Amino acid sequence: MSAISITHKIALKPNNKHITYFKKAFGCARFAYNWGLAKWKENYQLGIKTNHLQLKKEFNALKKSQFNFVY
């Protein structure tokens, strides 16, 4: 038995304010991902085992003091 998938294509037509917001939001997400990846690689090189929850906790602790632009 095969599953049938129904999809809808939705086109966004953002104004300038929305475009600016999207760029900031996606930039913050990219920054957080790249920071986590760099930290993961650093810990791996040092032989420290870590997981995504530890990285998330560390990033959230640093957000207010060092990365206030993420808010």
- Ordered by start, the domain boundaries in the chain are 31-70
Res 54: pLDDT: 95
Which pLDDT does position 5 carry in this prediction? 86
For residue 31, what pLDDT is reported? 96
- pLDDT score, position 56: 95
Per-residue pLDDT of the chain (71 residues; tens, 9 = 90+): 688 889 999 999 999 999 999 999 999 999 999 999 999 999 999 999 999 999 999 999 999 899 988 87
Per-residue confidence (pLDDT) for residue 71, from 0 to 100: 75
**Dihedral sign from CA coordinates of 14, 18, 20, 25:** negative
Neighbours of 36 (CB within 10 A): 16
